[in-house]
Amino acid sequence: MRVPRIPTEKLTKDQRADVVIIGAGITGAMAARELSAAGFSVIVLDRRGPLKGATSATTALLQYEIDQPITKLRNQIGEANAVRAWRRSKLALDSLTAKIQSLKIECEAKQETSLYLAGNVLDAEALKKEWQLRNTIGLYTDYHTRASLLDNFGIRRNAALQSYGNLTVNPLRLAGGFLLEAVKNGSTIFSKVTAEDIEFAAKGVIRLRTKEGPTITARYLIYASGYEIPSCVRTNNTIHSTYVIATRPQPKKLWPQKCLIWEASDPYLYMRTTEDGRVICGGEDEDFEDEEKRDSLLAQKTAKLEKKLSEMFPELDSRAEFAWCGSFGASKTGLPTIGEIPGMKNCFSIMSFGGNGITYSCIAAELLTSHLTGKADPDADLFAF
Ligand SMILES: Cc1cc2nc3c(=O)[nH]c(=O)nc-3n(C[C@H](O)[C@H](O)[C@H](O)COP(=O)(O)OP(=O)(O)OC[C@H]3O[C@@H](n4cnc5c(N)ncnc54)[C@H](O)[C@@H]3O)c2cc1C
């Protein structure tokens, strides 16, 4: 299935809109769609063009299960907040599924179950506690012992949780679908435009200067610039490099239920299957940002991922037909930062980080739309700066 063509324009003269969004990846796309549907005039701009950032590298396992287990997150932010974060993440995925249906976005969306395998972050005993807590807060999950894991999936691990209602999608078609909806609602997308400085003019007006010359005047400005964090945002978040391989199609050799698989380990491993029967397997994250160094490790990381995949499923042909890498932001809690940038009225930043980046993009679009339309979102404080 091809990615739809996104209509873009060249920025040749000054522009004006209610909202200007910097970044035309999945985050900017969802925000543009929600805000334009709420009646705002929206301009989106991107220095590379639409869908050329991390959104083009993602493996698009859309999970409500936050990278940070709830039994660990509660030690960091308290039990009530940890429960809220997990429940909001589940709601966001339900809401995204509903929007895909309502807007008829053809993005190969498929509901999947997930297996979360015991590892060095949560062993079998800790996983049992995680399972009990999830079930007491309404997130129905099954617990597999070593024997039932082997019986049901042919996987040799001490334990695993099985959860339901996660999603796989074609990320470019999903993001493209939201951008097209935003355009239908009157938004304009400017390609190859780099945002530079912001000026606060009289009467609450924000003026964005671009590298290309023309300015954009708006009431609200949103950074949806992915891991390229603007210098005006102070954050403790870090940028990681991550690696992925895709095998050749082998539909007859895939594991039962073809569920998503990820590990309670650091560094972690995850895998999913594709419509045509490939296995996509990723992980081997490294805690650095340097793109040259990241790319130079691709062959070494590919070999490691091939090895780990073949250890898990010896009957699969684990050799990579494709391999790639990318960068993503990570926070200590695994939660995103979404909200008004301190000291910069009406300027917002969405740092929807980690392995749940796309679920968080959905939360961000909802939170900011509520804020700009004067409604209170009950979870805004959880994700604020
Ligand atoms: C290999 C890999 C696998 C992943 N797997 C998953 C997964 O399975 N599930 C999941 O939920 N998430 C996953 N993620 C994370 C997910 O891809 C990201 O959270 C998501 O794509 C971020 O989207 P974004 O729109 O915020 O950023 P991007 O897609 O990077 O878009 C940001 C855009 O901003 C533009 N920009 C930046 N600065 C400026 C500027 N000054 N002026 C103009 N434009 C600018 C860039 O050109 C870019 O196009 C993965 C990431 C990687 C790299």
Question: What is the reported pLDDT for 203?
Answer: 84
The average confidence (pLDDT) of the chain is 95
Q: Is the CB of 59 under 6 A from ligand 1?
A: yes
Answer whether 6 contacts ligand 1 (Cβ < 6 A).
no
Tell me the average pLDDT across 278-304.
Answer: 94
Residue 260 has pLDDT above 80, yes or no: yes
Which residue shows structure tokens 């990278």?
Answer: 67
Give the pLDDT band of residue 238 (cuts 50, 70, 90).
confident
Q: What is the pLDDT of residue 275?
A: 86
- Is a pLDDT exceeding 80 seen at residue 97? yes
| Range among 175-189, 279-293, 345-359 rated most confident | 175-189
> CB within 8 A of 383, min separation 6: which ones?
335, 336, 337, 338, 339, 363, 364, 367
Structural domain boundaries of the chain? 8-108+169-237+332-385, 110-168+238-330
Is residue 288 pLDDT above 90, yes or no?
no
pLDDT, residue 106, reads 95
Residue 211 has pLDDT above 90, yes or no: yes
Task: Using alpha carbons, list the distances in angstroms from residue 316 to 113, 275, 319.
Answer: 21, 17, 9
Burial of residue 345 (number of CB atoms within 10 Å: 0-12, 13-18, 19+): exposed
Neighbours of 316 (CB within 10 A): 17
Helices and strands, number each (H, E), in the chain: 10, 17
Please choose from 212, 228, 324, 362 the residue to mutate so as to test ligand 1's pocket, defined by most ligand atoms within 8 A of CB.
228
Does the pLDDT of residue 1 top 80, yes or no? Answer: no
Residue 379 has what pLDDT? 97
Predicted TM-score (pTM) of the model is 0.95
One CATH from 3.60.15.10, 3.40.50.300, 3.30.9.10, 3.40.50.1820 for 110-168+238-330: 3.30.9.10
* Ligand 1 contacts CB of residue 334 (under 6 A): no
Query: Among 168, 161, 166, 149, which residue's Cα sits nearest to residue 69?
Result: 161
Percent of the chain with pLDDT over 70: 100
Average pLDDT over residues 242-251: 97
CA of 329 to the centre of ligand 1 (A): 9
pLDDT category at 51 given cuts 50, 70, 90 is: very high
DSSP state of 73: H
Model pLDDT for residues 117-154, shown as the tens digit of each residue: 999 999 999 999 999 999 999 999 999 999 999 999 99
Q: Which atom of ligand 1 is nearest to the CA of 270?
A: 8
Per-residue pLDDT at 165? 92
* Same fold flag, 8-108+169-237+332-385 and 110-168+238-330: no
**CA atoms in the 13 A half-sphere facing the CB of 135:** 11
**Ligand 1 geometric centre to CA of 52 (Å):** 8
pLDDT for position 218: 98
Average pLDDT over residues 210-220: 97
pLDDT in tens, 323-354: 999 988 888 899 999 999 999 999 999 997 77
Residue 66 has pLDDT above 90, yes or no: yes
Q: How confident is the model at residue 231 (pLDDT cuts 50, 70, 90)?
A: confident
Q: How far apart (Å, rounded) are the C-alpha atoms in residues 345 and 40?
A: 18
CATH topology classification for 8-108+169-237+332-385:
FAD/NAD(P)-binding domain (3.50.50)
CA of 255 to the centre of ligand 1 (A): 30
Least confident residue range of 68-77, 197-206, 214-223: 197-206
Look at residue 353 in the predicted model and tell me its pLDDT.
Answer: 73
pLDDT in tens, 81-93: 999 999 999 999 9
pLDDT score at 348: 97
